[in-house]
Protein backbone atom coordinates (compact mmCIF):
# COMPACT_ATOMS: atom_id res chain seq x y z
CA UNK A 1 0.00 0.00 0.00
CA UNK A 2 1.18 3.53 -0.79
CA UNK A 3 0.10 7.09 -1.42
CA UNK A 4 -1.38 8.10 -4.75
CA UNK A 5 0.68 10.14 -7.18
CA UNK A 6 -1.30 10.70 -10.37
CA UNK A 7 0.50 11.43 -13.62
CA UNK A 8 -1.58 13.35 -16.16
CA UNK A 9 -0.73 13.45 -19.86
CA UNK A 10 -2.66 16.06 -21.80
CA UNK A 11 -2.74 19.67 -22.88
CA UNK A 12 -1.04 22.42 -20.93
CA UNK A 13 -4.47 24.03 -20.40
CA UNK A 14 -5.49 21.20 -18.09
CA UNK A 15 -3.77 22.62 -15.03
CA UNK A 16 -4.54 26.07 -13.76
CA UNK A 17 -1.54 27.27 -11.73
CA UNK A 18 -3.95 28.90 -9.31
CA UNK A 19 -5.74 25.63 -8.68
CA UNK A 20 -2.59 23.52 -8.30
CA UNK A 21 -1.24 23.80 -4.77
CA UNK A 22 2.54 24.07 -4.27
CA UNK A 23 3.09 24.00 -8.03
CA UNK A 24 6.62 23.43 -9.30
CA UNK A 25 7.96 23.13 -12.82
CA UNK A 26 10.68 20.50 -13.10
CA UNK A 27 12.88 19.75 -16.10
CA UNK A 28 13.28 15.97 -16.10
CA UNK A 29 15.96 14.25 -18.16
CA UNK A 30 15.05 10.92 -19.72
CA UNK A 31 17.24 8.07 -20.88
CA UNK A 32 15.00 7.89 -23.99
CA UNK A 33 15.52 11.42 -25.30
CA UNK A 34 13.74 14.68 -24.69
CA UNK A 35 10.22 14.62 -23.24
CA UNK A 36 7.61 17.02 -24.63
CA UNK A 37 8.46 19.54 -21.95
CA UNK A 38 8.90 20.03 -18.23
CA UNK A 39 6.78 18.28 -15.63
CA UNK A 40 4.51 20.51 -13.56
CA UNK A 41 3.89 18.93 -10.17
CA UNK A 42 1.72 19.99 -7.25
CA UNK A 43 -1.36 18.99 -5.30
CA UNK A 44 -5.07 18.94 -5.99
CA UNK A 45 -7.15 18.37 -2.89
CA UNK A 46 -4.09 17.11 -1.05
CA UNK A 47 -3.25 14.51 -3.73
CA UNK A 48 0.04 14.73 -5.61
CA UNK A 49 -0.35 15.26 -9.38
CA UNK A 50 2.32 15.60 -12.05
CA UNK A 51 1.40 16.95 -15.49
CA UNK A 52 3.14 16.85 -18.84
CA UNK A 53 1.79 18.55 -21.97
CA UNK A 54 1.79 15.80 -24.57
CA UNK A 55 2.34 18.09 -27.57
CA UNK A 56 4.66 20.51 -25.78
CA UNK A 57 4.31 24.19 -25.10
CA UNK A 58 2.21 25.80 -27.82
CA UNK A 59 1.25 22.42 -29.30
CA UNK A 60 4.53 22.29 -31.23
CA UNK A 61 4.74 18.49 -31.60
CA UNK A 62 2.57 16.49 -33.98
CA UNK A 63 1.28 13.09 -32.77
CA UNK A 64 4.02 11.38 -34.81
CA UNK A 65 6.77 13.48 -33.21
CA UNK A 66 5.78 13.12 -29.57
CA UNK A 67 8.46 11.19 -27.68
CA UNK A 68 6.04 8.89 -25.85
CA UNK A 69 8.83 6.87 -24.24
CA UNK A 70 10.52 9.96 -22.79
CA UNK A 71 7.21 11.35 -21.46
CA UNK A 72 6.34 8.19 -19.56
CA UNK A 73 9.91 7.63 -18.41
CA UNK A 74 9.99 11.20 -17.07
CA UNK A 75 6.74 10.75 -15.14
CA UNK A 76 7.98 7.44 -13.75
CA UNK A 77 11.12 9.22 -12.55
CA UNK A 78 8.90 11.71 -10.74
CA UNK A 79 7.38 8.83 -8.77
CA UNK A 80 3.89 8.68 -10.27
CA UNK A 81 1.90 5.57 -9.37
CA UNK A 82 -0.86 5.79 -12.00
CA UNK A 83 -1.44 7.57 -15.31
CA UNK A 84 -4.51 9.45 -16.50
CA UNK A 85 -4.45 10.48 -20.16
CA UNK A 86 -6.76 13.21 -21.42
CA UNK A 87 -7.11 13.93 -25.13
CA UNK A 88 -9.36 15.23 -27.86
CA UNK A 89 -11.09 12.52 -29.89
CA UNK A 90 -13.44 12.14 -32.82
CA UNK A 91 -16.70 10.26 -32.47
CA UNK A 92 -17.56 7.21 -34.58
CA UNK A 93 -20.91 6.76 -32.88
CA UNK A 94 -24.01 8.94 -33.20
CA UNK A 95 -24.73 9.17 -29.48
CA UNK A 96 -21.16 10.22 -28.63
CA UNK A 97 -21.76 13.88 -29.31
CA UNK A 98 -19.23 16.73 -29.44
CA UNK A 99 -18.70 17.94 -25.88
CA UNK A 100 -19.25 14.49 -24.36
CA UNK A 101 -16.55 12.56 -22.50
CA UNK A 102 -15.68 8.94 -23.36
CA UNK A 103 -13.75 6.74 -20.93
CA UNK A 104 -11.89 4.27 -23.16
CA UNK A 105 -11.41 0.61 -22.25
CA UNK A 106 -10.07 -0.89 -25.50
CA UNK A 107 -7.63 0.23 -28.17
CA UNK A 108 -6.92 -0.59 -31.81
CA UNK A 109 -3.44 0.43 -32.93
CA UNK A 110 -3.10 1.73 -36.50
CA UNK A 111 0.02 3.81 -35.87
CA UNK A 112 3.24 3.19 -37.78
CA UNK A 113 6.86 4.17 -37.26
CA UNK A 114 6.64 5.05 -33.56
CA UNK A 115 8.85 3.58 -30.84
CA UNK A 116 6.53 1.04 -29.22
CA UNK A 117 8.64 -0.41 -26.42
CA UNK A 118 11.24 0.39 -23.78
CA UNK A 119 12.61 -3.12 -24.22
CA UNK A 120 14.21 -5.14 -27.00
CA UNK A 121 17.78 -3.87 -27.29
CA UNK A 122 19.64 -5.91 -24.70
CA UNK A 123 16.67 -6.77 -22.48
CA UNK A 124 13.48 -8.27 -23.95
CA UNK A 125 10.07 -8.18 -22.30
CA UNK A 126 6.57 -9.19 -23.45
CA UNK A 127 3.92 -7.58 -21.26
CA UNK A 128 0.27 -8.75 -21.45
CA UNK A 129 -2.00 -6.15 -23.06
CA UNK A 130 -5.36 -7.85 -23.57
CA UNK A 131 -6.93 -5.17 -21.38
CA UNK A 132 -4.75 -2.10 -21.94
CA UNK A 133 -6.71 0.16 -19.61
CA UNK A 134 -6.76 -0.17 -15.82
CA UNK A 135 -10.38 -0.83 -14.78
CA UNK A 136 -9.91 0.80 -11.38
CA UNK A 137 -8.59 4.03 -12.89
CA UNK A 138 -11.20 4.01 -15.65
CA UNK A 139 -14.09 3.55 -13.22
CA UNK A 140 -12.86 6.38 -11.02
CA UNK A 141 -12.38 8.64 -14.05
CA UNK A 142 -15.92 7.93 -15.30
CA UNK A 143 -17.44 8.71 -11.90
CA UNK A 144 -15.40 11.89 -11.59
CA UNK A 145 -16.47 13.02 -15.07
CA UNK A 146 -20.10 12.48 -14.17
CA UNK A 147 -19.74 14.41 -10.91
CA UNK A 148 -18.09 17.24 -12.80
CA UNK A 149 -21.22 17.58 -14.89
CA UNK A 150 -19.99 16.07 -18.14
CA UNK A 151 -22.06 13.67 -20.21
CA UNK A 152 -19.86 10.60 -20.01
CA UNK A 153 -19.85 7.29 -21.88
CA UNK A 154 -17.94 4.22 -20.71
CA UNK A 155 -16.47 1.26 -22.62
CA UNK A 156 -15.21 3.23 -25.59
CA UNK A 157 -13.14 1.47 -28.25
CA UNK A 158 -10.44 3.86 -29.47
CA UNK A 159 -8.73 3.44 -32.84
CA UNK A 160 -5.35 5.20 -32.90
CA UNK A 161 -4.27 6.46 -36.32
CA UNK A 162 -0.88 7.85 -37.26
CA UNK A 163 -1.97 11.28 -38.46
CA UNK A 164 -1.33 14.13 -38.57
CA UNK A 165 -3.98 14.03 -41.27
CA UNK A 166 -7.50 13.03 -40.31
CA UNK A 167 -8.90 9.81 -41.76
CA UNK A 168 -10.48 9.42 -45.18
CA UNK A 169 -14.22 8.82 -45.34
CA UNK A 170 -13.62 5.22 -46.42
CA UNK A 171 -11.35 4.68 -43.41
CA UNK A 172 -13.91 6.26 -41.10
CA UNK A 173 -16.58 3.86 -42.37
CA UNK A 174 -14.14 0.94 -42.00
CA UNK A 175 -13.31 1.82 -38.39
CA UNK A 176 -17.03 1.91 -37.57
CA UNK A 177 -17.42 -1.53 -39.17
CA UNK A 178 -14.61 -2.78 -36.92
CA UNK A 179 -16.60 -1.71 -33.88
CA UNK A 180 -14.45 1.30 -32.96
CA UNK A 181 -16.43 4.06 -31.27
CA UNK A 182 -13.87 6.89 -31.09
CA UNK A 183 -10.77 7.90 -33.03
CA UNK A 184 -7.57 9.69 -32.07
CA UNK A 185 -3.83 9.88 -32.71
CA UNK A 186 -2.06 9.60 -29.35
CA UNK A 187 -3.30 6.69 -27.20
CA UNK A 188 -0.83 4.35 -28.87
CA UNK A 189 1.94 3.64 -28.10
CA UNK A 190 1.21 5.60 -24.90
CA UNK A 191 -0.90 2.81 -23.36
CA UNK A 192 1.65 0.13 -24.38
CA UNK A 193 4.50 2.01 -22.75
CA UNK A 194 2.52 2.71 -19.59
CA UNK A 195 2.00 -1.03 -19.16
CA UNK A 196 5.73 -1.70 -19.63
CA UNK A 197 6.46 0.96 -17.01
CA UNK A 198 4.07 -0.81 -14.59
CA UNK A 199 1.78 2.22 -14.49
CA UNK A 200 -2.00 1.63 -14.45
CA UNK A 201 -3.41 3.73 -17.31
CA UNK A 202 -6.79 5.24 -18.09
CA UNK A 203 -7.88 7.52 -20.90
CA UNK A 204 -10.61 10.15 -20.88
CA UNK A 205 -11.41 11.30 -24.39
CA UNK A 206 -13.15 14.62 -25.01
CA UNK A 207 -15.27 14.44 -28.17
CA UNK A 208 -14.66 17.37 -30.52
CA UNK A 209 -16.19 16.15 -33.81
CA UNK A 210 -17.84 13.28 -35.69
CA UNK A 211 -14.79 12.44 -37.81
CA UNK A 212 -16.00 12.29 -41.43
CA UNK A 213 -18.40 9.31 -41.58
CA UNK A 214 -21.50 11.34 -40.77
CA UNK A 215 -22.68 12.52 -44.16
CA UNK A 216 -23.56 15.18 -45.22
CA UNK A 217 -21.56 16.90 -42.43
CA UNK A 218 -18.43 16.99 -44.54
CA UNK A 219 -14.83 16.91 -43.34
CA UNK A 220 -13.32 17.58 -39.91
CA UNK A 221 -12.80 21.30 -39.28
CA UNK A 222 -9.85 22.21 -37.03
CA UNK A 223 -11.35 25.62 -36.23
CA UNK A 224 -14.48 23.97 -34.83
CA UNK A 225 -12.34 21.56 -32.81
CA UNK A 226 -10.32 24.37 -31.24
CA UNK A 227 -13.48 26.22 -30.19
CA UNK A 228 -14.81 23.16 -28.39
CA UNK A 229 -11.49 22.27 -26.77
CA UNK A 230 -11.53 25.31 -24.49
CA UNK A 231 -14.90 24.25 -23.06
CA UNK A 232 -13.73 20.66 -22.77
CA UNK A 233 -10.60 21.80 -20.89
CA UNK A 234 -12.76 23.50 -18.26
CA UNK A 235 -14.75 20.28 -17.81
CA UNK A 236 -11.51 18.28 -17.63
CA UNK A 237 -10.15 20.47 -14.85
CA UNK A 238 -13.39 19.98 -12.92
CA UNK A 239 -13.10 16.23 -13.50
CA UNK A 240 -9.57 16.19 -12.06
CA UNK A 241 -10.76 17.93 -8.91
CA UNK A 242 -13.55 15.36 -8.48
CA UNK A 243 -11.10 12.55 -9.24
CA UNK A 244 -8.73 13.74 -6.52
CA UNK A 245 -11.54 14.16 -3.98
CA UNK A 246 -12.82 10.61 -4.52
CA UNK A 247 -9.49 8.75 -4.32
CA UNK A 248 -9.23 6.32 -1.38
CA UNK A 249 -6.88 7.57 1.31
CA UNK A 250 -4.53 4.66 0.71
CA UNK A 251 -3.67 3.21 -2.68
CA UNK A 252 -4.08 -0.55 -2.75
CA UNK A 253 -1.70 -2.49 -4.97
CA UNK A 254 -2.67 -3.16 -8.59
CA UNK A 255 -1.67 -6.28 -10.58
CA UNK A 256 -0.13 -3.88 -13.09
CA UNK A 257 2.38 -2.74 -10.43
CA UNK A 258 4.32 -5.98 -10.84
CA UNK A 259 3.59 -6.96 -14.46
CA UNK A 260 7.30 -7.14 -15.33
CA UNK A 261 7.85 -10.00 -12.89
CA UNK A 262 6.74 -12.49 -15.54
CA UNK A 263 7.31 -10.40 -18.69
CA UNK A 264 11.11 -10.18 -18.98
CA UNK A 265 12.44 -13.18 -20.90
CA UNK A 266 16.14 -12.29 -21.12
CA UNK A 267 18.06 -14.12 -18.35
CA UNK A 268 19.51 -11.71 -15.81
CA UNK A 269 23.07 -12.75 -16.59
CA UNK A 270 22.48 -11.82 -20.26
CA UNK A 271 21.17 -8.30 -19.61
CA UNK A 272 23.06 -5.65 -21.54
CA UNK A 273 24.57 -3.07 -19.18
CA UNK A 274 23.61 -0.07 -21.33
CA UNK A 275 20.02 -1.33 -21.69
CA UNK A 276 19.76 -1.93 -17.95
CA UNK A 277 20.97 1.61 -17.29
CA UNK A 278 18.30 3.04 -19.59
CA UNK A 279 15.64 1.05 -17.74
CA UNK A 280 16.61 2.33 -14.30
CA UNK A 281 13.25 4.12 -13.88
CA UNK A 282 10.89 2.08 -16.03
CA UNK A 283 12.06 -1.26 -14.64
CA UNK A 284 13.90 -0.04 -11.57
CA UNK A 285 11.83 -2.20 -9.23
CA UNK A 286 12.78 -5.39 -11.09
CA UNK A 287 16.42 -4.36 -11.46
CA UNK A 288 16.61 -3.75 -7.70
CA UNK A 289 15.02 -7.13 -6.99
CA UNK A 290 17.59 -8.92 -9.15
CA UNK A 291 20.43 -6.98 -7.53
CA UNK A 292 19.23 -7.91 -4.04
CA UNK A 293 18.83 -11.55 -5.06
CA UNK A 294 22.37 -11.58 -6.43
CA UNK A 295 23.70 -10.12 -3.20
Catalytic positions, written as ranges: 209, 211
Sign of CA dihedral 278, 283, 288, 293: negative
**How far apart, in whole angstroms, are the C-alpha atoms of residue 85 and residue 207?**
14
Contacts of 162 (CB under 8 A, 6+ apart): 63, 64, 110, 111, 112, 113, 114, 185
Q: DSSP readout, 137-185?
A: HHHHHHHHHHHTT--EEEEEEEEEE--SSPPPHHHHHHHHHHT--EEES
**How far apart, in whole angstroms, are the C-alpha atoms of residue 28 and residue 171?**
38
Beta-ladder partners of 205: 87, 102
Contact of 189 with 213, CB cutoff 8 Å: no
**How far apart, in whole angstroms, are the C-alpha atoms of residue 80 and residue 77?**
8
**How far apart, in whole angstroms, are the C-alpha atoms of residue 128 and residue 259?**
8
Amino acid sequence: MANWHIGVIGGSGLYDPGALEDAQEIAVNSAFGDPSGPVVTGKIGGVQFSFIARHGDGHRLSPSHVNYRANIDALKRCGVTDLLAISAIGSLKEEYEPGHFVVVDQLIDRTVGRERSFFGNGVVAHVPLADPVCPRMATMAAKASDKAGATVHENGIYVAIEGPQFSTRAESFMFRDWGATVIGMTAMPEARLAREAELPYALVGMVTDYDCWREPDGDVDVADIMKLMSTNAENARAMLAEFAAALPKVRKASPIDTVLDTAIVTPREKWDIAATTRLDAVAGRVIDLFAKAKD
